Structure 1
Amino acid sequence: MLQDQLREIRTQLRMAMNGITSTSMREKGINYKLNFGVPLPEIKQIAATHEPGSELAAALWKEDIREFKILASMLQPADDFPFDQAKQWVKEIPYLEIAEQCSRNLFCRLPYVDNLLLGLIFNVEDEYARTVAYLIWAELFKEGKTVVAPVRAAFIVECMRSIVWPDFGATWKEKQAAVKAMKFYGRQSADHARQMLSGFDEFPEFMETPEGQEIYNDLKFEFEYYS
């Protein structure tokens, strides 16, 4: 049964494949064993034709195939995904797109999301751990959700650490994810917006750099637009 499902998915992907997209991704350094280049809307359509299940999702995830990993994030039931398995998936994320899809389709919906966030944001060993934490926060805040006080405090402090502290060595993708999460947090209320912007007051040297001015002005414009 499982092999039949996987065979059917392969057939669906082959019929929807886009060689131009997969070639473009490969030229940008995104190398999978197999990449059909299928656009996300079509991957969602394929996911809708299959019953979600942990066995199928696990089988999809273990393959080095772009679309399989994205489908795994769509077909894994959130209420049947152990904490240790979530951490293992984060360790195995190969590219930013997969981090985004897992955060949007699965991680933000997990019943233990607060504990997961605290585990990820203090994890500096796994390449995508902190980036995934910010992406999850962005999804939660975008949906108007709140997080418990310790998780909110960690979010505020760690955003500054990722963006402002040059010695911390945050990656570009981590900084971009942090800014994205800050935008959605600040959109929730005027108090949240002030909270985000006031955090930069303690770092005048960073604010004098082109990067600092760009990030601050980007956030300020965002909050004024949505106020």
Structure 2
Amino acid sequence: METSEQVKQIKRSFRLFMNGVTAASMRQKGLEYKVNWGVSQPDLRRMAMQYDKDSALAQALWNEKGVRECRLLATLIMPSDKMSEDMALQWANDITSAELAEMLAFNLFQYLPFGYTLVRQMLDKDNVSRICAYNLMCRLMKRGIKPDTDTLDKLLSATSVDIHSADRQLLHSLLNCLQYIEQANTEKAFEVRQLLNDNGFDAF
């Protein structure tokens, strides 16, 4: 089946799982998409299992800009060994929501060999990109991939600014990341603990 036909078939299948209540709840929480069927992430994971890892299909789904389910499904279908650094940066530049930022880090970016390069790149961008960076940093460390000093220093510099943000999703991501760095990296544990204490998160 042609990739374009697969995309059409997939988009039609979203109707079987659509949930208007969930979609409305997402809008109320600030998750705005041009098209949102409200399909749950577990249902999207089950849908992804029906397809082999397919870079052409994943890219076609990603190109369906504004369609929540297409983009989330793309993160599940894209084979990590077929994603170049340039493509990953293109996707990173295209993040439009905190949900998508988190799913990119969890489903795809953590398996790329240049994960910390992406972290450094995304820390220079907007809030949703930095949400992805903080989630990705945490995932890489949990997989036992030790960050270099430059990446750690750049991340801590960014968190010292973002910790004052009114963006709750950004704050949640960076606090989770800082907590893990404090627990797992003795080199920066004191610095992180001091940053949390100085900003009223000593009981975090």
- TM-score class normalised by the smaller sequence: 0.7 to 0.9
**2-structure distance, mates of 1:148, 1:199:** 20
Distance change >3 Å, CA 141–CA 177, structure 1 → 2:
same
Cα distance, 1:16 vs structure 2: 1.4
Cα distance, 1:174 vs structure 2: 2.6
What is the one-letter code of the residue matched to 1:100? E
**2-structure distance, mates of 1:174, 1:28:** 14
1:141-168 alpha-carbon deviations (Å, 9 max, x no partner): 33343212221232233322322xx5xx
Aligned 8 A contact 1:78 1:109 in 2: yes
Cα distance, 1:183 vs structure 2: 1.7
1:199-221 alpha-carbon deviations (Å, 9 max, x no partner): 457xxxxx3xxxx32x2211xxx
In the alignment, structure 1 residue 153 sits paired with structure 2 residue 139 = no
Match of 1:128 in 2: 128
Cα distance, 1:99 vs structure 2: 0.6
TM-score by length of 1: 0.78
Cα distance, 1:171 vs structure 2: 4.0
SS in 2 for 1:147: coil
1:116-156 alpha-carbon deviations (Å, 9 max, x no partner): 222222x14x4422222111112123334321222123223
Aligned 8 A contact 2:101 2:129 in 1: no
Aligned 8 A contact 2:102 2:131 in 1: no
**1-structure distance, mates of 2:29, 2:129:** 22
What is the one-letter code of the residue matched to 2:129? A
Match of 1:75 in 2: 77
Q: 1:94 aligns with which of 74, 78, 96?
A: 96
Mapping of 1:62-211 within 5 angstroms?
62-63=63-64, 64-121=66-123, 123-124=124-125, 126-163=126-163, 171-188=167-184, 193-200=189-196, 207=198
Match of 1:221 in 2: none
1:22-48 alpha-carbon deviations (Å, 9 max, x no partner): 122234443323211111111101011
**2-structure distance, mates of 1:136, 1:87:** 13
Gap runs ≥5 in structure 2:
none
In the alignment, structure 1 residue 21 sits paired with structure 2 residue 47 = no
1:62-113 alpha-carbon deviations (Å, 9 max, x no partner): 1121111101111111122122222222222111101110111111211111
Aligned 8 A contact 1:91 1:128 in 2: no
**2-structure distance, mates of 1:155, 1:185:** 11
Distance change >3 Å, CA 23–CA 157, structure 1 → 2:
closer
Match of 1:216 in 2: 202
Aligned 8 A contact 2:193 2:202 in 1: yes
The more displaced of 37-46 and 148-157 is 148-157
**1-structure distance, mates of 2:83, 2:69:** 20
Percent identity (aligned): 28
Gap runs ≥5 in structure 1:
202-206, 219-227
Distance change >3 Å, CA 162–CA 76, structure 1 → 2:
same
SS in 1 for 2:96: coil
Distance change >3 Å, CA 173–CA 23, structure 1 → 2:
closer
Mapping of 1:32-47 within 5 angstroms?
32-47=33-48
Cα distance, 1:60 vs structure 2: 0.6
Cα distance, 1:49 vs structure 2: 0.8
Aligned 8 A contact 1:144 1:188 in 2: no
TM-score by length of 2: 0.86
SS in 2 for 1:216: coil
